[in-house]
Copies of this chain bind each other. A is one copy, B any other.
Amino acid sequence: MSKLDERALEYVAKYFKALAEPTRLKVLNALQDGEKNVGQLTEISRTTQANVSKHLSLLSDYGLVKRESRGNCVYYSIADPAIYELCELVCEQISNRMFHEADVKKIFMAN
């Protein structure tokens, strides 16, 4: 990371924020093996349709997913597979820590 100005840091923070929510990650995770419509994603995320719709439009606003309506349904898919690189990096770090540091485990377990 090169030295970043104020503005840039805010963009980056917003990007991370889009990924900082379990339901949205569940949706992104579910989209790994191809597009799914809102109904399917609602089932998978085990929340209300309205809630999923809200998360989807946020993800779409941030350019993380693509939207395509066909017939009666709206299909979402991953716009940029680079998201998964990010998640993989994070998962690696987390799993490394799980082995090495009991303290971190405690933190993540909290709540």
Show the binding face of A for B, using Cβ within 8 Å.
Answer: 1-4, 6, 8-17, 19-22, 24-26, 29, 32, 61-63, 80, 82, 84-94, 97, 101, 103-104, 107-108
Contact = CB atoms under 8 A, between A and B. Distances in A.
Stoichiometry, as copies per complex, reads 2
Nearest to A14: B108
Main secondary structure of the interface of A (DSSP, over half): helix
B14 A26 contact: no
A9 B32 contact: no
A32 B1 contact: yes
A3 B15 contact: no
Given A12-B87, A13-B19, A82-B89, 16 more contacts: A1-B29, A1-B91, A4-B25, A6-B22, A9-B25, A10-B22, A12-B94, A14-B20, A14-B108, A15-B94, A16-B19, A20-B20, A63-B104, A63-B107, A80-B93, A86-B86
